[in-house]
A and B are shown apart, each in its own frame.
Chain A
Amino acid sequence: MSDNLTTLAYLPTIISFILALKFLSSPKHARLGNQLGAIGMALAIAVTLAQKHFYGLGYMLIAVGGLIGGGIGWVGARKVKMTDMPQMVAIFNGVGGGAVALVALVEFHQTAAEPGRMLLNVSIAIIVSALIGSISFAGSMVAFGKLQGLVGDRPIVWRGQRVGNIIILLIGITAGTFILGGHSYQLMWLLLIEIAAALAFGILFVLPIGGADMPVVISLLNACTGLSASAAGFELRQNVLIVSGMLVGSSGSLLTLMMCRAMNRSLGNVIFGAFGQIQTGPSTAASNEGLTVRATTAEDVAIMLAYAHKVIIVPGYGLAVAQAQHDVRQLADLLTARGVNVEYAIHPVAGRMPGHMNVLLAEANVPYTQLKEMDEINPEFPQTDVSLVIGANDVVNPAARSDKSSPIYGMPILDVDKSKAVVVLKRSMNPGFAGIENHLFYEPETSMLFGDAKDSILKLIAAVKAV
């Protein structure tokens, strides 16, 4: 196949990817869009295989490697629990970045050996894709380790960390820059140094970031892999990679910024802030003195819920950890059958990745029409009889509105404290994922239902049935 014909044959793939993203604007067509994207990808693979005559062993390597990788991907995708989705996205993202770096390595190995063959723009593309792809690979693997509990969830910090990280990154960039003017016998070493520095930087920049900020990091690394794939397009002279990679790069960057905005923090603060460190001091404990919490029983809550007009359920990650999504839906169904208006308030950063909570509730067959975004539901809290907070903490913390000393000050929150009554389902009084004290629990309209979320909800279901 001629190069022009190949470029033409890749066009339907580009269109299918754009449609895949466009169709995500509504849950009605989203699945169709993703399937179109998959067809586009299959087409791109077929076109690539048809484009050149590979030698026999080459076909073998492609087929066997693709089948092994595809098989692993398929099994992982089928088996993964929805609560573990952030890890899954992190690891698929990492392997993508790793593939980009390996492609750059081989392209370089093949072209650099022949002096004069490397065009400046191709060299730069190789250097950039190797750098970003390696950072993305290593960073994603650490993010995976943290989310999977293999690496400590809390931020890992040490003295001189930021400076050290920047120096390592600069070593990588410098090695890459020297490639442009280096002698041919040095080139491979320089690239390997660059990749090693990038891998180290990827590991070290994710290590100090706490679990609460992982949604932002995964989104950022996703954008990075997209960028690196786009750079790979410049090195292989394939528009399909340039466009597809950049679609991911720009959309991922935008999503990252949206996540930061939902937490009212800058990207720099997320990456360098080592969130979750500040609040552990004794001062917060002292500020609780003299405050009391009101514990309640499932029977009392059941009566409140059963005679309410409007109930808003605020699910947090604690709900998912307790695997109580299905039971919550059953409780909501019971209340709906009694004529109670039940809705779910979903904070943009609820769960471990953007939109995670929606997926978990969709898995429990909650219709997406009941899932309300923060801006949509916040005006409804004053008319709400009971807000049922299940395993959520920081996203309902009024300190974000009022307490300037709080680390989450300025973060948009769900205004549950404005509803007539608040019931918080919580295991104990331990602070939440980000380790910040929550004064909502001490408000007079708030009552606490202590215990495992699943047990509490099962008790509520039984009690509502008995009302």
Chain B
Amino acid sequence: MSGNTAVFLAELTVLILAIFLGIEVISKVPTLLHTPLMSGTNAIHGIVIVGAILIAGQNLHSTLAQIVGFFAMILAGANVVGGFAVTDRMLEMFKGK
């Protein structure tokens, strides 16, 4: 348990730091870019694809896990690719004088 506790406390520390970091970086984003900000952060939470890969690939003996993992891959794949692609499409349009 102590090993788990140590890891958990480290995770918690990282979590707290990420909260403040998120607020800090976002407060400097102008309202001009709030839509790309939303779709960009949308793409970032697509990181759950890491979890989808692990559950789709690791669970050899459970058909249920395989089926659900497969659907998780579809959802996470759409999140990642769509999120970054649509953000790129928007940001490409912002041009100065």
In the assembled complex, how far is the CB of residue A376 from the closest CB belonging to chain B, in whole angstroms?
10
- For B76, list chain A residues within 8 Å (CB): 66, 69, 95-96, 99
Residue pair B71, A65 in contact (C-beta under 8 Å): yes
- Decide yes or no whether A102 CB sits under 8 A from chain B: yes
* Most B CB within 10 A of own CB, among A69, A71, A222: A69
Bound state CA distance, A353 and B44, in angstroms? 19
Other-chain residue from A107, A247, A367, A373 in contact with B95 (beta carbon distance below 8 A): A367
A36-69 interface (Cβ within 8 A of B): 37-38, 41, 44-45, 48-49, 52, 54-55, 57-59, 61-62, 64-69
Interface residues of B in 64-97 (CB under 8 A from A): 64-66, 68-97
Q: Cβ of B77 and Cβ of A69 under 8 Å apart?
A: yes
Q: A99-B76, A245-B47 are in contact. Are A88 and B70 (CB under 8 A)?
A: no
For A2-24 the 0/1 string (1 means CB < 8 A from B) is 00000000000100011011101
When the two chains form the complex, which single residue of A77, A226, A238 contacts B89, counting CB atoms closer than 8 Å? A77
Bound-state CA distance A239–B28 (Å) is: 25
CB of B78 to closest CB in A, whole Å: 4
Given contacts A222-B38, A355-B36, A359-B35, contact A99 B72 (CB under 8 A): yes
The contact size tier of chain B is 35 or more
CB pair B77 A353 closer than 8 Å: no
- Give the residue among B7, B46, B71 with the most A Cβ atoms within 10 A: B46
Main secondary structure of the interface of A (DSSP, over half): helix
Contact A348 B31 (CB under 8 A): yes
Cα distance A359–B33 in the bound complex, in angstroms = 8
Asked whether A27 and B32 contact (CB < 8 A) given A73-B85, A232-B48, A251-B22, the answer is: yes
- A193 within 8 Å of B (CB atoms): no
Q: Which residues of A, 66-111, contact B by the 8 Å Cβ criterion?
A: 66-74, 76-78, 80, 82, 85, 88-89, 92-93, 95-96, 98-100, 102-103, 105-107, 109-110
Contact A354 B21 (CB under 8 A): no
- A119 touches which one: B4, B14, B56 (CB < 8 A)? B4
Q: Which of A34, A66, A367, A373 has the most CB of B within 10 A?
A: A34
What is the interface of chain B mostly: helix, strand, loop, or mixed? helix
* Closest partner residue, chain B, to A53 (CB atom): B57
- A232 contacts across to B, CB distance below 8 A: 48, 51
Q: In the bound complex, what is the Cα–Cα distance between A21 and B27 (angstroms)? A: 10
Q: What 0/1 pattern do residues 6 to 48 of B give for CB contact below 8 A with A? A: 0110010011001111110111111111111111111111111
Q: Which chain B residue has the least Cβ–Cβ distance from A239?
A: B14
Please, which residues of chain A bring their CB within 8 A of the CB of B80? Answer: 41, 45, 69-70, 73
Q: Are B87 and A34 in contact (CB under 8 A)?
A: yes
Please, how many angstroms separate the alpha-carbon atoms of A78 and B92 in the complex? 13
Contacts of A102 in B (CB 8 A): 52, 55, 68-69, 71-72, 75
